[in-house]
Structure 1
Amino acid sequence: MSKILGNLNTAILIGVLLLVSAMVVFHGDQFGGAYLAPWFVFFHVISGVLWIGLLYYFNLVQIPTMPKVPAELKPGVSKYIAPEALFWFRWAAIATLLTGLIVAHLKGYLIEALTFQDGFKVIGFGMYVGMVMAFNVWVFIWPNQKKALGIVDATPEAKAAAATTAMMFSRTNFILSMPMLYAMVTQMYLAV
């Protein structure tokens, strides 16, 4: 069992096969246009869990713990763990944003939400906050993390400044995630 589950690619393949099996067993007779919206909702939720999960990992675990890590061990995080986590983090942000917009389009409320029409103000607010957060990931967090982690050349002073900037925007996204998640979860129950 450890040989199978110990390999990430095998575990992903098994998960995808179980997903496809569940899709066929439970909804095989419903594939088509009407099935697209729930399919994209699923991918929106999966990518959102990955994105926000990593955001919480960075803010609740990695950032507070790094000052306590002995200097000789820090390269283990900065050269291996952080770049890999940031890869999944930034692409999950894009996947969450795109699948969310696709869901809103497929369910017929994209324009209503983006223009804050009655009944769609909550989800519209959540969508805009999510867009700001994704923007922060790609425009502020990732470019500054590349400097801070030494992925791109930078002076020690520039690395330190970049680390601070990346942390501030990561913390901003951490704060924004709370009202964003509230808006996403309550839309169907408390539409305004």
Structure 2
Amino acid sequence: MLLARLLNRYLPFLHQLLEGIVLPGSNNSPYGHHNQVQVAVKRPGFEGYTDLARMSSSRVGHIDQSSAKQTPPGKPTSNYSVLFGVVLSGETKTRSDAGNLYLAPGSYQKLAKAFQAFQGKVPWHPNITEHYLGEEDPKMEAVRASPGEAILMHHQTVHGVGPNHSNTDRVNVYFRITASGRPDGLKTSYPKAMQEPLLETPLLQTLAGAE
């Protein structure tokens, strides 16, 4: 509950962005991975899920999927709406090897185009970028953020974590946020939102249209 309080100041924005949200921890669905709230600590010496030299490749990244649905490959992909992170400590503002979050800009759009080939549920694959995008996989970049700053990204943005070669713990708290307006029967897996990335963020649709 104390961790959830970090979200309070951002609730008006998130409600406006998604036209209503399911509060993390209020139930076990539609996405129970990490109980919807995750404390991500990367201590000095953490070598990452892959070495820094390879972090630019989105093939070492992933999109979040509950552990129960990761095997076998081909299960319907479960999806929340957006990942919202709050940076609590670390040197990730000034360097890219301090346990930084890495993400592939535009990867959510590229995956959406690939997902449009499916009439129903989108099959999950652990090597999702390579499986769906092949040689068109985008590059990943380090997110530079200071303690107190927030990070917001679409569920299917390919991401990963690099090594922490700094002398400071990198601590982020992540909230997996789901729009409250999903149709019945599609709370856990909403393929249309995977195929149309702005579907659950009408505010962004309006802003994009204005440009």
TM-score normalised to the size of structure 2?
0.25
Greater relative contact order (Cα < 8 A, sep 6+): 2
Structure whose residues are more often helix by fraction: 1
Which of 1 and 2 has greater Rg?
Answer: 1
